[in-house]
Amino acid sequence: MTKAVSHLWDMSEAYPYPSPFTLYLDLIGWNTMRYGKHMADGCECGVYEARLIGDALIEFSDDPVEVGKYVNVIMLANQLTIDYDGLDTDSTPCDTL
């Protein structure tokens, strides 16, 4: 159910910030709910990355609740916090999408 999201996450770890996964988080609304703004400005994606993001978006459209929970787990497990213009990065991510 979350194979494409997992693959996108794994692949994105090798990219500088903002990564393709950051763009995915913007597209599903996670960054806006967590930080109150989009955070993928300057993200550069090629055709391969766009395909992976598209596959992950299809998974999200098929089951947004389950994928949203999985994204929260990824973000918490990896302690991905971004100090963006003084935003509170110590709060926990949203529980629902």
This prediction's pTM: 0.78
Specify whether the CB–CB gap between 53 and 82 falls below 8 A.
no
pLDDT (tens digit per residue) in 28-70: 999 999 889 999 999 999 999 999 999 999 999 999 999 999 9
CA 21 to chain centroid, in Å, comes to 5
Closest CA to 68 of 60, 80, 79: 60
Two tokens at 28?
């599903």
Specify whether the CB–CB gap between 19 and 43 falls below 8 A.
yes
